Amino acid sequence: MPVYEYKCSRCSAVFEKLVRLSEEDELRCPVCDSAAVEKLVSKVSPLGEEDSSGWGSSCGTSRTSFG
């Protein structure tokens, strides 16, 4: 089961949830209990490229300049 990120349309809370597709209609906001939640698109980092947080490096290796 994948973990998805959701945002509540009522209170703007953002939360992650492990959800089966069959359970998605029953999803409610953990803050205000609203059923008005939308699935967010996750940011993906291509393999081997790093962003400012350091995530995305391949197998924990760092890039070193030889030259």
User: Is the Cβ–Cβ distance between 8 and 32 less than 8 Å?
Assistant: yes
DSSP β-ladder status, 3-8 and 37-39: antiparallel
User: Which whole-number Å values give the CA distances from 18 to 4, 21, 27, 33, in the listed order?
Assistant: 6, 10, 10, 17
Going by the DSSP 8-state scheme, the letter that residue 53 receives in this structure is: T
One-letter amino acid for residue 63 of the chain: R
CATH number for region 1-43:
2.20.28
**Residue range 3-22, pLDDT digits in tens:** 889 999 999 999 999 888 78
Domain borders along the chain are 1-43
The token pair that represents 4 in the structure block:
């998805």
pLDDT-based confidence at residue 59 (cuts at 50, 70, 90): low
Q: How much is the pTM?
A: 0.58
> 46 pLDDT band (50/70/90 cuts)?
low
